[in-house]
Amino acid sequence: MPTPTSHAKLLQWVEEIVTLCRPDAVQWCDGSQDEYDQMIQLAVAAGLATPLDAATRPNSYLFRSDPSDVARVENRTYIASRNPEDAGPTNNWIDPETLKATMRGLYAGCMAGRTLFVIPFSMGPVGSPIAKIGVEITDSPYVVVNMHIMTRVGGKVLEVLGTDGEFVPCLHSVGKPLAPGQADNGVWPCAPLDSKYISHFPEERMIWAYGSGYGGNALLGKKCLALRIASAQARDEGWLAEHMLILKLTNPLGAVRFVAAAFPSACGKTNLAMLVPTIAGWKVETVGDDIAWMKFGKDGQLYAINPEAGFFGVAPGTSSKSNPNAMSAIARNTIFTNVALTSANDIWWEGIGYEPPAGEVIDWKGKSWERKEVAAHANARFTAPAHQCPAIAAEWQDPAGVPISAILFGGRRPGTVPLVHQALSWQHGVFLGSIVGSEVTAAALDVQAGTVRRDPFAMLPFCGYNMGDYFAHWLRIGETAGAQLPQIFFVNWFRKAADGRWLWPGYGENSRVLRWIFEQCEGTGKFVLTPLGIMPTDDALDAPASVSAADMAELLKVDREGWLAEIADVRSRHYPKFGDKLPPALLQELDALQARLSA
C-alpha cells in the first residue's frame, strides 16, 4: 500500500524498525471499520479470538492470553533516564544505552512471519491543544483492534502531524517470530517473563515494549504514553498528566461542575466515574474513567481532557449493581480478555451479579470450569468504546477540555480516614495526595495485614520520573500566575465499624458526598474547621436511611490517635524514600497537622 504520509522523521523511523525486525509485510493503519474487521478475522483465523453470540452481544469477541501474560509487569517496567536519580526510588532504572543494546538484540528478526502494523494515534480529540500524537509499531492484530477502541487512529492524525509534527515513537512486539509455514494455532504469542521489557526513555519521549501482548504492556498509548511519558512532558511544559477519572456533576438547578479523582486500584474509580446518583434531581455523567490531562486555559482555570477514546476496564466485580452504565457500554462492539465463556457463547465472570448459566462454562484458560478456581482471571478486561456508555457527557470530546472545580484523592481505609475532608490550601492538598494509600486487609507475601500501602496520587506505578520532583511539580502548579485552582478533597468510602460491617453503603450513595463537594465549590456547603481540614457538619450530607446517626458521627470523626499513628508512619516509612528530593513544604504540612492534632 502507498505510504500515507510525507513526514520524513516518521518514515525514517518506520524504515529503521522494518530493517531491524524483518516482518513479512508492512501495513499502515487507517482506523477504518474495514481494517478493524480485517484484524478481528486474522485473530479468529489464528484461533486467538472467539466470536460471541451475535444476537446477545453483537460484534464482540473473546481473547484468552497466556497465563504468563495477564497483567502489567511492573518488575519488567523501566524508566531509562540518563541519570538514575531522575527515575527515582519508586521506578526500575536501567542505563538507556545498555537497555537499547539488550532490546535491539531481542528485536532483531522478531517480526519474521508476521505483519508490521503502523498505528498513528491521537491521545485526546484530534487537533486538541491538550492532545498528543503517538505512532505505535506492533506485530499484533489484538493491539490494533484495542488501539482502535482506546485511541483515535488513522489519516486525520497524520493530517494534524503534517510533515514535521512531534510524535512519540512507540515500538512493540509480542516477541514470537514465526518460521516459514508456522502459525500461532490458537496459542497466545508472547515471550517468556524474563524476556519481557516495557521500557520508557523520558528524555527522548520514546517507548519500547517487547514480549507481552497484553493491556498496558502492549497498548502503548495507555499507561506508557498517557502517564509515564506524558508526566515527564507535563513537568517540562507546565501541565498535569494524571491517573484520574473525570466526571460531570449537575445539580437540580442545572449548574454544572467537573471533578477529577485519583484512587489506587480496587477503590471504585470506574464505578465513581459512571455513578448513578440516589439523590433526586442530581446527575452524574462520564468524561473519562482513568486518565486526565489538565492544562491552564487563558482564564487561569485548569481544563481537562480524557486522552482515551474507550474503557479498558476490569471485568470481575462489574455488575448491574456496581456499575450499570459499564454493563450497558459493553453490550456490543466489545473485546473481552480472559473472562469465562458460557455454553450460549456469552461471557461470565465472578461478581457479574448472577450465577453462571446452565451448561458447560469454559474458564479463562480455555478449560472446562470445575469451580475449584475462578472462571475469569482477576484482571480480566473489557475494551469498549466510550461513546457506548449511556452516561457519557456531551463534553467528553471537547478539544478545549472541561474546567475542573475539584480534585479528589482517596483510598481503601477501614479506619482513621474520615468519609470526606477538604484541604485547607493547594499545598495542603498536595500533601494529602502525597500520602494516599490503601490498607492491606489480608496477609500478603511481603506485607503485614493492616499495613498501609502508599500510592501517592495513585501514580506510584505510572510516574515517569522521580516522585519527589513530581510532588514539587504539583506545588509549582499551585504557584502559577493567575491560576484559579480547583479545591482538593480526600474521600474514603471504605470505613468499617468495629464489628466489620461497612459504615457507608457506597455506590450511588456516594452522590451525597459529591453533592457536598459541589456545594463547597459553590460556596454554599455547611462545614466545620477541624485539625484535618474542612469537614461537613453532622447534617450536611443528608445520610441515607441505612446509616444511623452514630455511624455518621463515626464516619466524620477526627481520630486523633489514628492520625498521630498515620503521621508517624509517613515520617518513618514513606517520606524518607524520597531523600533530599522531598519538598520541604510537605514536611511543613506534616508538622502542621501534628501540631493541630496535638493542640
Provide the 10 A C-beta neighbour count for residue 438.
22
Residues 224 and 206: their CA atoms lie apart, in Å, by 9
CB neighbourhood size of 496 (10 A): 15
**Residues in the chain, overall count:** 599
Pairing of strands 197-201, 420-422: unpaired
**Inter-residue contact 121 to 151 (CB < 8 Å):** yes
Type of residue at 141: P
DSSP H helices in 90-161:
96-107, 141-150, 155-161
513 within 8 A of 541, measured Cβ to Cβ? yes
Helix/strand/coil (H, E, C) string of 287-311?
EECCCEEEEECCCCEEEEECCCCEE
Q: How many CA atoms lie within 13 A of 334 on its CB side?
A: 28
Amino acid at 482: G
Distance CA 426, CA 429 (A): 5
Quote the cell numbers at residue 226. Answer: 498517557
Q: Which residues pair with 382 in a beta bridge?
A: 313, 336
**Per-residue burial over 214-225, b = 16 or more CB atoms within 10 Å of its CB, e = otherwise:** bbbbbbbbbbbb
Q: E-assigned strands of 214-296? A: 240-242, 245-250, 256-262, 283-288, 292-296
Find out whether 255 and 403 touch, Cβ atoms under 8 Å: no
Cα distance between residue 535 and residue 554, in whole Å: 13
Task: For residue 438, give the 3-state DSSP assignment.
Answer: strand
Local structure of 107: helix, strand or coil: helix
Among 358, 348, 312, smallest CA distance to 148 is for 312
User: Cα 410–411–412 angle (5° rounding)?
Assistant: 145
Task: Supply 507's cell numbers.
Answer: 455506590
Is 267 a residue of the active site?
yes
Q: Is residue 579 helix, strand or coil? A: helix
Q: State how far the alpha carbon of 466 is from the alpha carbons of 78, 244, 580, 590, in Å.
A: 13, 19, 11, 21
462-473: b (≥16 Cβ within 10 Å) or e? bbbbbbbbbbbb
CA dihedral 25, 26, 32, 35 (to 10 degrees): 20
Of 29, 267, 389, 521, which one is the catalytic site residue? 267
Dihedral of the alpha carbons of 492, 498, 500, 502, in degrees to the nearest 10? -40
Helix (H, G, I), strand (E, B) or coil at 437: strand
Count H helices and E strands in the chain, helices first. 16, 28
Active site residues: 267
